[in-house]
A and B are shown apart, each in its own frame.
Chain A
Amino acid sequence: MNKLVIIVIVVCAFMAGIAWEAGVFLAGDRPDYKATGEATTDAPADPEPQPALEPASATQGADTADAGPPARTAIPEGPLGDLVRKGEQIFADPGQYASAYVGNDLSCGNCHLDNGRYDKTAPMRSAWPMYPAYRSKNQHVNDFAERLQGCFMYSMNGKAPPRGGEVIQALEAYSYWLAQGTRTGVELDTHGFPDIAEPEQPPSYERGETVFMDNCAFCHGADGQGQLAVDGASGFPPLWGPRSYNWGAGMHQIDKAARFIKAAMPLGKPDLTAQQAWDVALYINSQERPQDPRFNGSVQETADAFHQHNSQYGKTVNGTVLGEKSPPSGTVP
């Protein structure tokens, strides 16, 4: 029995290898979304930039081309496949399948579209091979499990699922499975959110408000609080307020939000200009949201320690210091 399983696995791996090579060959001219080629800072699934383990060579095309994630139907049978499927399920609906760790109305797929498969929104496939990595966010080397914990603490304003527990293990298994065929430490073109052109004019709250009302409010509401589906199921996610990401989430940074918005919003028809994306990113991230979990009691000190760049935290907008009236962080059920 065991022998049979091993043979099946070996054969599958061999076939996958052939398919991968063919995919790399066929996808040689895949478009590069990173127009400026600049190193990214800290997208939700982004470590600090790291040098590639192998120097560029004659096979450079093959180094960066990516055949994409495996087909959904290719998840194997057996215990590993079960864990991968569990991870896929949690990824799609953490509020249901990891509810003890989720403190708002967001889910993984709100930022990592298509269940973490979509090339333009920091696919899990491009994150997995880049860990462990040093992160300035917490000033030490993070492994992938710790990076996932960060998503729950910040983007989902919840609590870190325990290392080695089922939630983290399943999400790791799912990411590992999506990343098959990638090379450890070699950054894919799809790593993080795509780069965006620098704004021609400094981002403006007033222009951003207009962009928001014209392009975002129809789904996310004029008050940014999203909309539930007819039966109370999740509809369009809230972009600020107590049920959205907190002041420690990557998405609260203007540059990161601008890159995501330019790449993916409005959903299905992302046609904003770079300037519009910067403006509306500033507008959205100039609204109050749950407190930064690293808050030490002083908005000023927390701002100095963690919000020096691309953040509105601690700044005065419409007469209020952002962070002073934040709803609490880590509000799990």
Chain B
Amino acid sequence: MTRTGATIGLLLLASVGAAQDGQATTQSLDALVQTCAACHGPEGQGVGDFPRLAGLGESYLVAQLEAFANGKRENAIMKPLVAGFSDSQRQALAEHFSQLPVKAAQQGSGVADINEAGKKLAELGRWEDDIPACVQCHGPEGRGIGEDFPPLAGQPSRYIQDQLEAWRSGKRSGDPLGLMEQVAKSLKGDDLAPVADYFASLSPKKEADHE
């Protein structure tokens, strides 16, 4: 429902934008991508604690840009940046990064050892506390499901922890159905680091695809 409305809005804006500035739209996309590359890397692969954007779902990325703009994702760096983007620019950026290839070799913050506590929570959840396994929505080995359930594999541990903390404190909200907010709030404080380390240690691409 909302998505239909948003799509119609985007189409309207896009057509207005196209009529007004024609070719300028493509040039500004390159410039915008350069802005993102400063932190997320030239191929959207992520740099340091800044997350990978390459290969994330387009609709997920659009939703995140909207959330930064409307404050549902509180972020001092992203908010002013995104506030200056038009809807059609957000759409174009999301499309651009969603189509960049995922590289197998890249790993998050270089956490080497798979820790048992993090692995257990990720793969099995903790149903005594009604907590599903992370992989039930984020896919086997955290490689994502569809466009809306983002991959976690290979994302920086610090980034994942920060997001979990943001869900818990209310600095991130408004996810579809409130599923992630509910799960994050059910976790214990000392769950965050192990589970974030675990996903950071995984390859974002299947081992078989490496060579």
- On whether the beta carbons of B178 and A269 are closer than 8 Å, the reply is yes
**Bound complex: CA A233 to CA B141 (Å):** 10
Residues facing B in A205-222 (CB within 8 A) are 213, 215, 218-219
Residues facing A in B1-59 (CB within 8 A) are 1
**Bound complex: CA A332 to CA B146 (Å):** 26
A269/B127 contact (C-beta < 8 A), A231-B206, A236-B145 known: no
List the B side residues contacting A231 at CB < 8 Å.
139-140, 143, 206
Please, how many residues of chain A have a CB less than 8 angstroms from a CB on the other chain? 24
Judged by a CB distance under 8 angstroms, whether A235 is at the interface is: yes
A 259-286 binary contact with B (CB < 8 Å = 1; else 0): 0000000111100000000000000000
| Residues on A facing B (Cβ under 8 Å) | 68, 72, 113-115, 117-118, 213, 215, 218-219, 227-231, 233-236, 266-269
Which one of A68, A115, A117, A235 has the greatest number of beta carbons of chain B within 10 Å?
Answer: A235
- On whether the beta carbons of A233 and B183 are closer than 8 Å, the reply is no
Do most interface residues of chain A lie in helix, strand or loop, or is the interface mixed? loop
Residues facing A in B115-145 (CB within 8 A) are 124-125, 127-128, 130-132, 136-137, 139-140, 143-145
- On whether the beta carbons of B137 and A267 are closer than 8 Å, the reply is yes
User: A229: nearest residue on chain B (CB-CB)?
Assistant: B139
Return 18 A-B CB contacts under 8 Å, by A number.
A113-B127, A114-B124, A114-B127, A117-B127, A118-B127, A213-B1, A215-B177, A218-B148, A229-B145, A230-B144, A234-B140, A267-B132, A267-B136, A268-B132, A268-B137, A268-B182, A269-B178, A269-B179
- On whether the beta carbons of B179 and A235 are closer than 8 Å, the reply is no
User: A215: nearest residue on chain B (CB-CB)?
Assistant: B177
Q: Among B1, B151, B182, which residue has its beta carbon within 8 angstroms of that of A269?
A: B182
**Bound complex: CA A269 to CA B175 (Å):** 13
List the A side residues contacting B1 at CB < 8 Å.
213
How close is A42's CB to chain B, nearest CB, in angstroms?
24
Residues facing A in B159-208 (CB within 8 A) are 176-179, 182-183, 186, 206
| Residues on B facing A (Cβ under 8 Å) | 1, 124-125, 127-128, 130-132, 136-137, 139-140, 143-146, 148, 151, 176-179, 182-183, 186, 206
Which one of A228, A233, A268 has the greatest number of beta carbons of chain B within 10 Å?
Answer: A268
List the B side residues contacting A235 at CB < 8 Å.
139, 145-146
How close is A239's CB to chain B, nearest CB, in angstroms?
15
**Bound complex: CA A267 to CA B136 (Å):** 9
**Bound complex: CA A228 to CA B139 (Å):** 9
User: A113: nearest residue on chain B (CB-CB)?
Assistant: B127
User: B123: nearest residue on chain A (CB-CB)?
Assistant: A92
- On whether the beta carbons of B182 and A230 are closer than 8 Å, the reply is no
User: A235: nearest residue on chain B (CB-CB)?
Assistant: B145
List the B side residues contacting A72 at CB < 8 Å.
124
- On whether the beta carbons of B139 and A230 are closer than 8 Å, the reply is yes
- On whether the beta carbons of A230 and B151 are closer than 8 Å, the reply is yes
- On whether the beta carbons of A114 and B125 are closer than 8 Å, the reply is yes
**Bound complex: CA A266 to CA B130 (Å):** 12
- On whether the beta carbons of B177 and A218 are closer than 8 Å, the reply is yes
Q: Among A113, A215, A233, which residue has its beta carbon within 8 angstroms of that of B139?
A: A233
